[in-house]
Amino acid sequence: MISTQKSRVWFITGASTGFGRKLAEAVLAKGDRVVATARKEETLADLERQYPIHGRAVRLDITDLTQVTASVQAAINAFGRIDVLVNSAGAGLVGAVEEVSDAQIRQQFETNIFGLLNVIRAVIPLLRQQGSGHILNISGMGGQVSFPLASIYHATKYAIEGISESLAKEVATFGIKVTIIEPGAFKTGFAGRSMTYAERIAAYQPVYGTMTKRFEPTGDPARAAQAMIQAVGADVPPLRLALGADALHLVREKLNSELEEYERWESVTVATAFEAR
């Protein structure tokens, strides 16, 4: 067992299920300390019972600023610091741009972006004062590769990528590291548990047909948790970490395709300069 003085303190959102849950379990098993948060605190009670010294279960709706502030304070009260912030809480939305409602769009951004920013903005002052820390933002291959019927979801994941990339440059001087986690299709139950569906318009049925059974979840969330732990332990952690062969394949394919297109249109691109006089 790692001693309390040397173990890291992890603050994990969305820890009741999926990646957040598996990561909380793995981190506690290795002897680190965890503040596991979820909207329903009782879903985390078993973790605190199993690890009464190293584990704390805290209620947190990341869209509620009062709860965000209280949960960060609870972590400080319990362990005095936060070493790793993991933004795992999130939700999905399926529907064509024409199908999704204003309320669904706003809720998607409220959870995936504004909620994430609420937590980051609450924790960064603490990490800055400590002169160290690591932020893991769980995006997904959907933060790099886009598919039909998920435009709003992709918009939030692309936003996480941009926020994280800029954030990494802002906080590096304070000893804070940032890693974007980009999982592929994992068996987390996300599609059934955290997914909202727009009311369908019949004209889009052919598009839905092309998406049926497109992604077969083959990734193991427990192994994903170990990969994240490995990234945190690295002297030079990656800015982006794809998880799953499917994610790596699709991201590589997308990047290669983009580069080819830029090069194909290079003559048009560079011809936009003022002519020399």
Active site residues: 139, 153, 157
The number of helices, as runs of H, and strands, as runs of E, in the chain is 11, 9
Q: How far is CA 169 from the centre of its chain?
A: 18
Q: Which residues contact 19 (CB under 8 A, 6 or more apart)?
A: 88, 138, 181, 183, 186, 188, 221, 224, 225, 228
Compute CA distances 195 → 27, 182, 225, 256, whole Å. 27, 18, 22, 30
39, HSE (Cβ side, Cα atoms, 13 Å): 12
- Pairing mode, strands 84-87 and 92-94: unpaired
